[in-house]
Structure 1
Amino acid sequence: MFLAWMECNEHNKEARKLSYVEFPTKFVWKLKDRCWKPREKGFSIGRIHTVSPNVGEAYFLRILLNKVKGPKCFADIRTVNGHVCATFREACYALGLLEDDREYIDAIEEASHSGSGYYLRYLFATMLKSNSLSIPYFVWEKTWQYLSDGILYNQQLRLKAPGLSLDEDQVKNLTLYEIEKILLQNNSSLKDFDGMPYPDHESISSSNNRLITEELDFDRTTLLQEFYQLLGSLTDEQRGVFDDIITNVTAISDCTLCISTCTSLSLKFPRSKSGLKMAQAVEDWYKQMPIITRSYLTAAIVTTIGCSLEIISPYNLYLNPRLVVKQYQIWRLITNFLYFRKMDLDFLFHMFFLARYCKLLEENSFRGKTADFFYMLLFGATVLTTIVLVGGMIPYVSESFAKIIFLSNSLTFMMVYVWSKQNPFIHMSFLGLFTFTAAYLPWVLLGFSVLVGASAWVDLLGMIAGHAYYFLEDVYPKMTGRRPLKTPSFIKTLFADEAVVVARPQEVRFAAPPVEEMRR
């Protein structure tokens, strides 16, 4: 019926003088022929079914059907003064059928005088969710400076970098990321609103890496001035050496420099940029690992190799509650997390995950908080051990738990789970077969374990321990304002973490919202 109305407009001049609502007054719908015919007698009033604003474009199409006359296609409905609008919402706005959102902009500006940045972002997300904004992008462009209040300060705290600076695009991206998190908690997304920009999660992941941020945080103008100043202070001989080095480095050619000192020394610039030998590269990679990752990886490899060479017996390492309690073999509570079974492809697979995700957590989320990271592993090991001990006493599942005598794989899976929860938007690929976001990584690995016939209990235990930590550390404090997992002081004394104090900038006027406000 609706499409036939536009077809009728192509052939009938009288039809073009009527809107869709007015059409039944002059035309009648012939169901048999499925077309509109001129009305010969009688009179009828047309009506259109109610459409909720939450539907989106269909709601704005309904508004236009009351105003637009004689369209021959959907593009004609969106045409205003010869210009084809991208959406029905935009066409309504161009015709003056929608308000200009000025009152919402004023509301955000007014709230900025007394509300925190989090409150403003929550307010903006509420406006989006209620479909109250005519053009969300227009409101965003007018208010993003208010919505980004505290973003820089929070990033300085997160990276422990008081001198960190962000450009306008980075601030906007981080602000959109925070708004997206609020919308996701309410089963919505910025992708649901036409015209609204979407945060670049890969750049956010890079900005949360302190090493990358420090390398990119520089002033080109200042460095260029310093370069020319130092270049002008070189002697003729030094300038000649400088020119030779730059020429050969730029051309990627061989260059040998002989420097006369108390002993003969020759510096060689290789033709390839990857001049380090493989052994040296592995050594450097190992030394650059943070302390907890390096220690755990070393202990795991040494223990597994020792068992493979029959230097150590796995029977002295596995978790045995009876031997722990009756014969005081306390070391079994630790050694069962160090043995990764026999040396095979599965061992290399788990070593890769251990080195990668343990290192990512310690360098990023727990950077400068080694004691907290150690406490996370201690918490995970305690939860896993408790589950196995308690599960061994429960009927129907005790047999399955009795087979779990080494929890090293479960602890590694816990770290993968925690990392995926803290970096849910990073795009990943599984064996090049399909792509997904990091939030689904634990489930993909669990499915792969089931597919290859491995025990799913090992991965499930890691997910349970990881979710317990994530809930108590990230979710519960936001709900109640209390943080139950506080690292004990005696553990903090074991690690010399340097405290970094970030001064609150003047433009950030308020701290995080109180618990009552966050609940609202």
Structure 2
Amino acid sequence: MANVRDWRGDELSLTSFYYSIPRVTRTWLTAATLFTLACGLGFVPFGAVLLDWDRVLRKYEIWRPLTASFLLGPLGLNFLFDLVFLYRFSKSLETGVFMGSSAEYTWMLVVIEFFLCLASMVLVPLPILGRCLMMAIMHVWSRKFPRERVHVFVFAVPAAYLSFALLAINTLLAGRLDIPGIVGVLSGHLFYFLDAIYPSLHGHQRAGITKTPSWMYRLFGERPRNQPRNQRNEITQPRSASILSQIRGHHWGTGQRLGSAEDIDS
């Protein structure tokens, strides 16, 4: 069986590598792969899984918001790079900022998904949410690790400006505004503001929609952590930064995001 190397340079079988991925990222990555392949190869019609609020509300097809979040668009090189993009940033957030807490990381995805659904209902139609969700995750990562540097084409961009650089490049290459990307970034920033910025204003405690409910912890068999996420981020950032520095280039194609990443063995 072919082997791969993890971020430390240790050799892993493909099976070991797959199960070394934290479980929320692994589930999302697997679902995105299967749903996109099934639709792209014609096994499942796109019309049955796209987000269509008229069918959700009138015909009670309530699975559509979830299935739309697993779709990454048509098959091609963009799809392969999408998977790398999803793996890198999602894994880094889940193992770094959220310290492997499946309950807290899943709740963040649920909240961002709620923002995306709300935007698609009242602002602009978004039949596919997969890319929006990835852009949101990438933006949250860039806020958490603003001093990291990511290569975009031949330019090294500080992570703090990564979202805007990618939106600008995609808009220029496509010749039109990258609306899904913009909605994704705004949704990710809204979560970051409510979770990290607002609680620091006037002594507010983190609560409300971004606070992981107790039933979510019970669902994953976890206990709430007493340490705030902001403090955990400060503690784990040096280790996370050493992992995330492996992220290299993100090359973008016309009309769709085309990301790439390659490992640098330490």
The interval holding the TM-score normalised by the smaller chain is 0.7 to 0.9
2:216 is the counterpart of 1:494: no
Partner-residue secondary structure (3-state), 1:494: helix
Give 1:357's match in structure 2, choosing from 73, 89, 96: 89
Q: Are the structure 2 counterparts of residues 473 and 313 from structure 1 closer, same or farther at C-alpha, using a change threshold of 3 Å?
A: same
Tell me how far 1:360 sits from its aligned partner. 0.3
What does residue 131 of structure 1 align with? none
Deviations 1:154-207 (A, max 9, x none): xxxxxxxxxxxxxxxxxxxxxxxxxxxxxxxxxxxxxxxxxxxxxxxxxxxxxx
2:166 is the counterpart of 1:445: yes
Instruction: Count residues with an aligned counterpart.
Output: 217
Tell me how far 1:281 sits from its aligned partner. 3.4
Tell me how far 1:465 sits from its aligned partner. 0.5
Partner-residue secondary structure (3-state), 1:493: helix
What does residue 242 of structure 2 align with? none
Partner-residue secondary structure (3-state), 2:122: helix
Q: Are the structure 2 counterparts of residues 329 and 473 from structure 1 closer, same or farther at C-alpha, using a change threshold of 3 Å?
A: same
Q: Is the 8 A contact 2:217 2:223 kept in 1?
A: no
What does residue 423 of structure 1 align with? 145
Partner-residue secondary structure (3-state), 1:429: strand
2:183 maps to amino acid:
L
Partner-residue secondary structure (3-state), 1:452: helix
RMSD: 2.1
1: CA distance, partners of 2:111 / 2:52: 20
When normalised by structure 2's length, the TM-score is: 0.76
Deviations 1:458-491 (A, max 9, x none): 1100111011011100000000322132111111
1:450 maps to amino acid:
T
| Bigger Rg, structure 1 or 2 | 1
Q: Is the 8 A contact 1:368 1:498 kept in 2?
A: no
Q: Are the structure 2 counterparts of residues 383 and 501 from structure 1 closer, same or farther at C-alpha, using a change threshold of 3 Å?
A: closer
In structure 2, runs of 5+ residues without a counterpart are: 1-6, 228-266
What does residue 135 of structure 2 align with? 413
Q: Is the 8 A contact 2:147 2:160 kept in 1?
A: yes
2: CA distance, partners of 1:430 / 1:486: 34
2: CA distance, partners of 1:451 / 1:424: 24
Tell me how far 1:369 sits from its aligned partner. 2.5
1: CA distance, partners of 2:15 / 2:162: 30
Q: Are the structure 2 counterparts of residues 455 and 285 from structure 1 closer, same or farther at C-alpha, using a change threshold of 3 Å?
A: farther
Q: How does 1:121-160 map to 2 (within 5 A)?
A: none
Partner-residue secondary structure (3-state), 1:464: helix
Tell me how far 1:367 sits from its aligned partner. 0.9
Q: Are the structure 2 counterparts of residues 501 and 422 from structure 1 closer, same or farther at C-alpha, using a change threshold of 3 Å?
A: closer
What does residue 205 of structure 2 align with? 482
2:62 is the counterpart of 1:330: yes
2:23 is the counterpart of 1:301: no
Tell me how far 1:451 sits from its aligned partner. 2.2
2:34 is the counterpart of 1:287: no
Deviations 1:371-414 (A, max 9, x none): 111111000000011011111xxxxxxxxx23x21111000000
Tell me how far 1:500 sits from its aligned partner. 6.8
Q: Are the structure 2 counterparts of residues 330 and 292 from structure 1 closer, same or farther at C-alpha, using a change threshold of 3 Å?
A: same
Partner-residue secondary structure (3-state), 2:70: coil
When normalised by structure 1's length, the TM-score is: 0.40
Partner-residue secondary structure (3-state), 2:156: strand
2: CA distance, partners of 1:501 / 1:323: 42
Relative contact order higher in (CA < 8 Å, ≥ 6 apart): 2
